[in-house]
Each structure stands twice: as C-alpha cells, then as structure tokens.
Structure 1
Amino acid sequence: MTARTLPGMTTISYPPKPSPGDRIAVISAGAGLPGLLPRPFELGLERLRKEYDLVPVEYPATRKMGSTPQERAADIHAAFADPDIKAVIASIGGDDQITVLPFLDRELIRANPKPFFGMSDNTNLLAFLRNTGIVGYHGATVMCELGRPGAMHPQTADSLRAALFTSGAYELKPAERWNDINRDWADPATFEAEPETRPAAGWTWVNADRVVEGRSWGGCLEILGWLLMADREIPRDLAEFDGGVLLLETSEEMPSANEVFWTLRNMGERALLQRFSALLMGRAKTWSFERPNGPEEAARYAADQREAVLRAMRMYAPTTPIVFDVDFGHTDPQLVIPYGGLVRVDGPDRRITVTY
C-alpha cells in the first residue's frame, strides 16, 4: 500500500504501553549511523536495559549504513508485527526517511499499534502513524538522548519514563539550563563528562490570553517542508487539523530565517497555519560543526528565527497563541511530546500539559 494524500478524518488512539522487562524494537528508519558511530548507540542500549529495564531488539538495517528504503520498511513491519515487541524507538534521524513511506503497509501497522519514539527525520514516520490512527511520541532517540555523554539529562529521562510507562497528564517544565553544542562522537573523551550547559531564559509567550487543547501535529520544519512538497501524509481534508496544536522545531541544518518564513508562509497559503489553536516552537539549535556560532551569533540566529515565525503568524494567524523555546527539538534537554495526542496550552497560567 502506498502512502499518499489521505482522505477524510482520522480517529487517533493511544497504543498500549510497555512494562518494565518488555522487549523494545530499535530501528534505523533513517540513517544507519549506529554502524558508523557505535559508542553513543551502545551507551543508549545500555541505559534502556539498566535505567528503563527494557530489552532492546535490533533489526537487520539498524546498524547498516546505506540500507535501502525497502530494507528499512521491512524492519518497521517486523517490529510492529511481532507480538513480543511492545514499543519501537529510533536509533537516530537521517535525511531520506521520506523514501521509506511508499513501502509501508498501513493495514499491518494499524492492526498492530505500538508506541513509537523518534524525532527529526522520524517526523515522516510520526506523521504516517498519526494518519494511521496511532499516537506516536516526538523525542528520545537512542543515540542522541539515551546516548548523551555522562548521563541523560534529568528532564529528558523523566519525560521519557513517563511517556513509556504511564498514561494521563504530564506537565512540561521550562529548562533552567540547556545546550546545543555537540562534541565528536568518534572521540572517546567526549563521553567522559556531561555536556556543558548554559542558563535558559524560559519560554516566551505570545497571545497568552486563553486555554486551548488539541491533538498535536508537526515536527521538524525541514522534514515537514519535504512532506508538503511531496504531498505525503497530508490529509486531503485539512479540517483534520482544526483546533490542533502545531509543533515546529528546526534541526542542525540551521535553516535561515528566510527559509523558516518561506516554509511557514507556504503553510499559510495552503490554509494550514490558520487551523491550529496554538503553536509550540522548539528552542532553536544555533550551533553545528559546520557553523560553530559564538554566543552573539547564536543569539542573533535565534532572534532572527523568532521574528520570521512571528512575521508569518501575523500574516496568517495573528491571534494564535505561540510559545517559543519549548525544549522538544534538537537541543538538550528534550521533552517527549505525544504526536497526535493531546496537548493543553494554558496561556494565563503559562503552563503546558501533555497527555501520555
């Protein structure tokens, strides 16, 4: 079955949760980087075993760089079809997961719903699952969050534990300190200490005059742009998004403010921005190995991105509540947000609550 533009409205439900001691699939639906950089991957697997009491199960393409879309689709099918596997987690992201979507068997996955955890390029699979009727979880890959040097960030660890094992409301909290500067995974010294962090300014609220609650959609802005261009996993009836909460964040590719504005403008021209009841904008990643910004450059990049978002929203959805610098993107810590699940944005009390 091919993954094309979808008709009608989708009924979305939360899949059953795993329990400590259960088996969890570890897949590379994007890039097989565990085969190239095993150290953070092995550390992440160890934490799944020791800190979460889960049994990670790898698949043929998990450590295979250059695997075909068909091979990765086969791993996804095997993970969802196996009754002994109780959840699925991505090793890391990538840049071509969109090529896997046409090979996915929607009915097989719909018949075997499981929690899936991933972000970045995994926006593709999260959108696919939402359109299949399954709530996924944006966040917490094995190599990045579980494989963090020194220790997992406490906020990431607590959020992941709650999303994995519990149901019900979970309040997100602003990070007091954060980081977006990476160190070389190929260097053993990287894993001898936790990353250095710097003070966080908290969330910034715009139009915070109401309380809204809706089902989430969105993810990595660059990946969403690709999905929109390819017309993949975009419901034909955009009323599907009415009253929802839009999640947006940008990656280590660090798109320019113009690129961010253009993508949002095109979403507005497609009458998407106007449908959501709130926008949560992830904290911008302001550093990469290719662009190692200093503090002033980093602050300028983040400010320019915020103004680009505001400019687009003023054009198409000027009264929509917006929260900037929510910690759910490519920065550290990373809070897990249910994708297709309920998100409550309380402007007057400055609180965000998700339902796991």
Structure 2
Amino acid sequence: MNPRLRFPRPLRPGDTIGVTSPSAGVVGAGAERIEFSAEWLRGRGYDVVVGECMDGTGLTSAPAAERAAELTRMLTDPDIRCVVPPWGGETAIDLVDLLDWDALAAAEPTWLVGFSDLSTVLVPITTRLGWATVHGDNLADTPYAVPDGLLHWLDLVGGEGPFVQRDSGLVADWWRFEEDTRATEWKHVGSSRWDLEGGGSLDVTGRLVGGCIETIAHLAGTPYGDVRGWAEGFEEPTVVYVEACEDGAIDICRYLHGMRLAGWFDRAAAVLVGSTGAPDHADLTQRGAVLDALGRLDLPIVWDLEIGHVPPHLPLVNGALARVVVDGDTREITQTLA
C-alpha cells in the first residue's frame, strides 16, 4: 500500500454512521426523506447519529465555522466510522480552510461519502490527508435500489474488493420528495452507454480522483486542490473523473481549462466524464466544452458514466487503483483499495 494513502477500515453493521450538512440543510418534504433514509440505514443494522448542522431554512445548514467544527468532530470521533451528508448544496468551499486539519491528520481515517457540493470536501480530504473518500450517493439517494452492473456505496465501504462495476445502460431520475418521500426505485427515463471518444478500445489503470466540475474547479491552484502534487507521490498515473451538474457549456469549458492549467491532468492516463443534463450553448455543446479544454492533451476520454447528477450512481473511491476497460461489449471499471 502506498504510504500516501489511508483506507478506512470496512464499515460493518453495528457501526455508527454520522449525518451532517457541510452545505445545504433539510426542510419540509426533504427532511422527511432524510428521516426515511436514516431509518433505511438503521434497518440494515447501522447506528445513525444526526448532527446539529441540519437546518434547511437558509442557504447553508449553519455558519461555516459551525459546519466545519461538526464535520471535524464526526471525522475524528473513533465511534463514527462513516459520515454522509443529506445532499449537496452551493457553498461548501467556505469551510475547507476552517476544518481542523491537524486533528484530522492525527485521527484514524473515517469514510466520507457523497457527491455534488461534497466534492469540494472529498478532494482535499484525499489530497491533503491521503484518506480514501467515496464519490457516491448522498443520504437522500442511499435507499434507491442499485441497477444491474453497479454497486451500492455500502458495498465499497464495507468490503475488501476488488470491486467490479459495469455500464448499467440506465438513465434515471429522482422522484420529487413531494411525490414520494419513501421512493426506493429509480424513475427510468432512458438508456445510455459508455462511449470512448474516437472509438477503438481502452485498457488503463490509475489512481482515481475527481468530482463535480462546478465545485472542484474552484479548488484548483489552491492548497485544497493540489492534484498535481498529490499525483506526483504515486508510481501509477491518475484516472481523473469529472461531471457537470447544471452550468452551461461555456462555464464548464472555462472551469476545465482552469483545472488543466493547474495540473489536474498532468499525470492522467484517462478522463472519465459523467452523463449530464447541463445545457449546451448555441455554439458549444457540453462534450465540445470538454474537448476544447482537454482535447489538446491527447488523453482517452470515456463519456456518459453514471457518476454524477444523472442517476443512477456508480460509486468511485478517490485514491483507489482503478482499471478501466472499454473494448467491444466490455465496459467496466475495477477498483482495488490498495
């Protein structure tokens, strides 16, 4: 195992999962969904503790210092083995420099799971501390059934691996909380397939790192998003994954150029791009935005993975050694926690 990486011990039934909102809190039907999701976890044998930073009446669940303190406390509490937010939000970047990094560095690693705005926290936890983190479902999505080919995030944090996942072929959507706060089956809306830019085949291996473009792009060039420095500590290259939430193609293009200029792709063997419903520009599609920023790097690009704001979700472990194969009918990713 690389000394720069620390994998939390596997999560087992009977262990405690902490719930806190580093970004947006919960209110109304959303709060009912979170209560149901916590009970869903308890029904599978986990103890669930909910923090104080959960208020959903404003932009964030609490002032930044309070959110940072609660997240630090949960991640350093030896009785809490995993932390998951209810969902994302907008401004988790306001707490990254308020976390107690010395206390975190002295603690045993704890699983941190989520996506969207939580990407803003996952990346520095991995690149600064060396803790493996999981880009996967937030708590609100956790009760949804996993389609064939994919794994639940609980499988990854609770097992030894290797973990093999394959193209599910499914394009889904969430049920609105006002429609059903207890939904456990995705709303099927279409089909898709991983697609290798330019055709042909691909077989690459590297360390995973990435997240939601709109949030992680603002870490590039800072001490909290030094992917280039982190990647230089490994013999293996990286496999960088990115996904767009809702910003238009022009903004996505700018963000990816900024990440490129900050060295995010300097040691990459491939780039994985999540399916997106974000809007195109009249003169630039979302794919065109990626190609404008990254096409000059001559890296393999795999499109339409289930890794973002178009469900279902293929959980990825930041720091895991991943083998990505796209060859004929084979479209799979294997993650090894080593």
State the TM-score, normalized to the length of structure 1.
0.82
Matches within 5 A, 1:99-138: 99-110=94-105, 111-130=107-126, 131-138=128-135
Provide the secondary structure at the position in 2 that maps to 1:117: strand
Larger relative CO (CA 8 A, sep 6+): 1 or 2? 1
Pairing of 1:315-354 with structure 2 (within 5 A): 315=296, 317-318=297-298, 320-348=299-327, 349-354=330-335
SS at match of 1:103: coil
**Unaligned stretches of 5+ in structure 2?**
none
SS where residue 99 of structure 1 aligns? helix
| Equivalent runs, 1:1-356 vs 2, <5 Å | 11-33=4-26, 37-50=30-43, 52-63=44-55, 65=57, 66=60, 67-110=62-105, 111-130=107-126, 131-143=128-140, 145-146=141-142, 151-154=144-147, 158-180=151-173, 182-185=174-177, 187-189=178-180, 191=182, 194-206=185-197, 209-228=201-220, 232-234=224-226, 237=229, 239-240=231-232, 243-251=237-245, 254-286=246-278, 304-315=285-296, 317-318=297-298, 320-348=299-327, 349-356=330-337
Distance 2:87 2:158 in 1: 21
- Note the aligned Cα RMSD (angstroms): 2.8
> Which one has a larger percent helix, Structure 1 or Structure 2?
1
Paired AA for residue 268 in structure 1: R
Residue 226 of structure 1 aligns to a residue in which SS?
helix
Contact kept? 1:34, 1:91, Cα under 8 Å: no
What is the CA distance between 1:221 and its match in structure 2? Answer: 0.2
Q: Distance in 2 between matches of 1:59 and 1:189?
A: 25
- C-alpha distance in structure 1 between counterparts of 2:6 and 2:289, whole Å: 34
Does the 8 A contact of 2:134 with 2:153 survive in 1? no
CA–CA distance in 1 between the matches of 2:186 and 2:227?
40
Verify the 8 A CA contact 1:261 1:308 in the aligned structure 2: yes
Aligned residues: 325
Runs of 4 or more consecutive aligned structure 1 residues displaced over 6 Å after TM superposition: 298-301
- Displacement of 1:152 in angstroms is 3.0
SS for the counterpart of 2:97 is helix
Segments of structure 1 that go 5 or more residues without pairing to the other structure are 1-8, 287-297
User: Given that residues 137 and 339 in structure 1 are in contact (C-alpha distance below 8 angstroms), is that contact kept between their aligned partners in structure 2?
Assistant: yes
More deviation, 34-43/128-137: 34-43
Q: Pick closer, same or farther for the CA change 1:193–1:171 going to 2, 3 Å.
A: closer
